[in-house]
Chains A and B, each alone.
Chain A
């Protein structure tokens, strides 16, 4: 192991990770997995006393054949590095997750962080082809493969995607790439009022043939922060060949007063979350977007505290950041917002899709199953204990 200090373990190879896990398990310790260090806990801190396991040195593209539209990278490779390698061949890894491009591909997959293009181009679970990981027993597992279709064996790739490192330390990934769109345009449309006419127009875009690469409803505070204007905006990214984009652009211009922006608006939106903020994520059926969007607009107007909010039109996912002053308790600051979200989240009472399961056959959550999975892969709670609290 290179560069080990009392505070952190710096892994230079996958076998260093194996050794670190064995060592921690042997002395009843725990590890906190760290890549670029930008997604440390999402408000759910790893148990105090866990030793940081720094895997940022596991870095670099190990195999890239543009003709296959697949790439193999070590987990500590930054998103910027993946982007640079693929840009040369007019391809990209369309994950484009929330956060900055200095973050790592390993953390993106471990947290299953999706970004604004996920509705059109796929969630992390749709784009990972293979994953090498070290589980909590120190076993080196090589799951999946590098081909774009693969049903051999049980799906350990989906299992570690979004497991927040609690089932294994991801050390290497095979990812699906896509061609960058020949034409790629970004437009914003001011949304002054969300009356029935506006909702119907935006729904026509959501359900119509000109599926945008991304469409995020942005509240006024965030619109101002991004320099898009003073009113809530629908920020739309259109991609495809020239004729497709021309038709899609016409559909967007029909929504209202629109302005074109450089594509960098998306990197700005992805990185807009301030360092001091309490961020909540709410996900609902996409058709309920007007309800969520109206609550965002109301919230932005109360003026009590700056709130950045944006909502994915395709996926119905709302992200809200309450900006904090020094000394604010992040949980308390977010609590008021979360309380107001509860009423949005209310569901009809008779929501059981199946209909005929009797009382004796109640449907349970999968918590017990999830615990058994955790125990199967990390019986001693070595990996990021507490992060899924």
Chain B
């Protein structure tokens, strides 16, 4: 499939405008500029045009129009992704932000059915009067959408105990790329048959567009205890992390920030009162029923001290807790002050390998002369090595790329994975063949083909095209014929 000729493109735009209205089809370069990147610098692409449907019916009609025309498309929510996954390179971009209705809330069964453009944090705000919340809490939760969360199988600090998006999605109505509308999963009792919903969650926009999503809501905890443990060595903080988990305590969240991150946060407007001379801090939160929670907090305190913590302090009230969390949640923003651009990386290693990996990351950063700030979900072994840099400096950009490659390689060697919650998108395509065998990548391609035989949804993402045996076979056959 090649780019559309200008005349065909105009005809397509007219068809889409007839569905969504003139002002919801964007074609001029300045209107399309907002779609050229997501939250990760270094990848840019320009859509052919963007269409912003305003209802489920309009989304279906748009997808059917694109199917009839054989045109490829990329679905996009808030564009806060960190893998270059929602970039549309010369194809149609389908923006879903106008679908932001909370369709139904079922308090007795603790579920909510929402349209894909509903913002993560606004769902929790809406169900607060019922004493409920939506648990997965990516750092971008004030902006990112449930549809995007489902596409990426998003995580967040509180996914340690509560689980990631996959564990909270019960059902979805999905328009497949060919325009068929199917119900996946079940909102009313547990579904039978293949777990196609499980396959859809985390499919990064390659399997279709969710028209609505039914999610599980969690009761707000009776009580929350938030602790900040202060370490003079990163290694100690990492060891304390595995010790807490190994002791059988499952905190709601267990986050590690290293000195580079602490410095960035404390120098910014988000200053949280972290000890600036600490090599690392752990932010540990226990929540749930009030009874027994103090025991968990005491055990966490004791384990941190036994592993070398200088001090462990407990948030005194809700405002203090919010301040401690503000530093963590806004750490990426704080790093933004350090340089024009920031690579937020994502990888996972077994929890017992955290100390070893943090040492390796420090060595890799020094070798490539880049500054790595670590702020991550330590309890899950989910690393976020972040590198502030200037993308306009080709030498520095090359060193950032080289350091990232080395870090990913080390994580794979340690038995880990290349992404825990951000997705493969465009950014991690190059690592897929190091992580998965050829038959496994081929199996992924076959699964995609069951959902999207024409490969028109989010083309070129997640699995390298040349990994798909039949696809390359067809290309070779065509080449031989010509």
Contacts and interface: CB of A to CB of B under 8 A. Distances in A.
Contacts of A123: 190
A98 interface: no
Interface in A334-355: 347, 351, 353-355
Interface in B350-398: 350-352, 377, 380-382
A363 B60 CA distance: 11
B189 A316 contact: yes
Contacts of B443: 135, 139, 141, 143, 156, 377
Contacts of B226: none
B189 A373 contact: no
B412 to A, nearest CB: 9
A142 B441 CA distance: 9
A354 B189 contact: no
Interface stretch (B41-49, B175-183, B308-316): B175-183
A154 B248 contact: no
**Residue of A209, A246, A366, A372 with most partner-chain B CB within 10 A:** A366
Nearest to A147: B348
A6 interface: no
A248 B109 CA distance: 21
B424 interface: yes
Interface in A371-388: 372-377, 388
Contacts of B424: 151-153
A357 B57 contact: yes
A149 B164 contact: yes
Contacts of B263: none
Contacts of A100: none
A372 B450 contact: yes
B242 interface: yes
A180 B181 contact: no
Interface stretch (A24-32, A46-54, A225-233, A284-292): A284-292
Contacts of B142: none
A66 interface: yes
Most buried by B among A123, A143, A243, A375: A243
Interface string A189-221: 000000000000000000101110000000000
A145 B423 CA distance: 15
Contacts of B180: 364, 368-369
B67 to A, nearest CB: 13
Interface size class of A (residues with CB under 8 A): 35 or more
Interface stretch (B211-219, B275-283, B336-344): B211-219
A27 to B, nearest CB: 22
Interface stretch (A7-15, A73-81, A157-165): A157-165
Contact of A388 (B193, B352, B380, B382): B193
Interface residues of B, number: 104
B16 interface: no
A149 B380 contact: yes
A149 B194 contact: no
A210 B437 CA distance: 45
Interface string B401-427: 000000000000001111111111000
Contacts of A3: none
A257 interface: no
Contacts of B377: 149
B432 A161 contact: no
Interface stretch (B264-272, B291-299, B325-333): B291-299
Interface string B444-458: 101111110100000
Given A142-B437, A155-B202, A357-B56, A376 B449 contact: yes
B188 interface: yes
Given A112-B195, A243-B292, A353-B214, A283 B437 contact: no
Contacts of B189: 282-285, 316-317
A142 B416 CA distance: 14
A20 B173 CA distance: 39
Nearest to B428: A152
Contact of B420 (A65, A66, A122, A149): A149
A156 B440 contact: yes
Contacts of A356: 55-57
Interface in A265-288: 282-287
A15 to B, nearest CB: 13
A186 B439 CA distance: 47
Contact of A246 (B291, B441, B446, B449): B291
Interface in B72-97: none
A154 B199 contact: yes
Interface stretch (B19-27, B152-160, B473-481): B152-160
A191 to B, nearest CB: 20
A149 B348 contact: yes
Interface string B161-205: 001101100000100100011111011111001111011011100
Interface of A: 65-70, 90-91, 112, 122-123, 125-126, 135, 139-143, 145-156, 158-159, 161-163, 167, 178-180, 182, 207, 209-211, 240-248, 282-287, 315-317, 347, 351, 353-358, 361-366, 368-370, 372-377, 388
29 contacts: A68-B351, A145-B416, A145-B417, A147-B381, A147-B417, A148-B351, A153-B444, A154-B199, A154-B462, A158-B166, A159-B194, A179-B250, A244-B293, A283-B190, A285-B106, A286-B109, A287-B108, A316-B189, A354-B56, A354-B211, A354-B212, A361-B60, A363-B182, A365-B182, A366-B194, A369-B450, A373-B199, A376-B449, A377-B443
